[in-house]
């Protein structure tokens, strides 16, 4: 199993879609990008910690490739929105791909370039992965536990 990290606004919606992708074995919602260790949701939602709401995606590379995950990531959120996602505005809701190594970085850059060639203007950041801090337990599988669907995320075919 391998792990990939993505930020695309509210982590509940991102988790909702990644959980349904064949080859994904586990998801964890949390935070990445700031300097504060083990931040709480209450701290991150202020937008002052430097963290982005992030999802950790554990996947089986024999069933789904990292490139397929990156492509899917772009299909489940508005990657052209520069100030957040949907009604969630702020630095904690920015779009980012967190790469673990140069192969992942190069893959993210390649797909980003394909989107630009298609006429899109991605606001997504491509950043080196940092420490990942899981959010509190009540955030995990939040939408499924409540029988709800995402408000800020919709899947739409691009690739």
Domains of the chain as residue ranges with CATH: 2-146 (3.30.1060.10)
Helical H segments across the chain, by residue range: 11-18, 41-44, 66-75, 102-117, 142-146
- Determine the pLDDT at residue 152: 80
Residue pair 25/59 in contact (Cβ under 8 Å)? The answer is yes
Give strand pairing partners of 5. 56, 98
- Choose, from 4, 8, 10, 111, the residue flagged as catalytic: 10
pTM: 0.96
CA distance 8 to 147: 21
Q: Is 59 helix (H, G, I), strand (E, B) or coil?
A: strand
**10 a catalytic residue:** yes
**Which of the four pLDDT bands, split at 50, 70 and 90, describes residue 4?**
very high
CA distance 73 to 75: 5
- Determine the pLDDT at residue 151: 81
Mind listing the pLDDT tens digit for each residue in 113-147?
Answer: 999 999 999 999 999 999 999 999 989 998 888 88
């Amino acid at each position: 199993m391998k792990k990939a990290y993505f930020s695309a606004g509210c982590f509940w919606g991102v988790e909702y879609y990644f959980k349904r992708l064949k080859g994904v074995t586990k998801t964890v919602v949390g935070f990445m990008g700031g300097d504060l260790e083990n931040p709480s949701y209450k701290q991150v939602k202020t937008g002052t910690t430097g963290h982005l709401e992030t999802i950790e995606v554990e996947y089986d590379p024999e069933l789904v490739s990292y490139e397929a995950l990156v492509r899917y990531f772009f299909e489940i959120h508005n990657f052209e929105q520069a100030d957040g996602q949907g009604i969630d505005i702020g630095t904690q809701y920015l779009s980012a791909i967190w790469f673990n190594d140069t192969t992942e970085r190069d893959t993210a850059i390649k797909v980003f370039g394909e989107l630009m060639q298609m006429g899109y203007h991605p606001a997504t950041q491509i950043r080196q992965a940092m420490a990942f801090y899981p959010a509190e337990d009540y955030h995990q599988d939040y939408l499924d536990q409540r029988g709800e669907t995402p408000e800020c995320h919709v899947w739409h075919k691009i690739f």
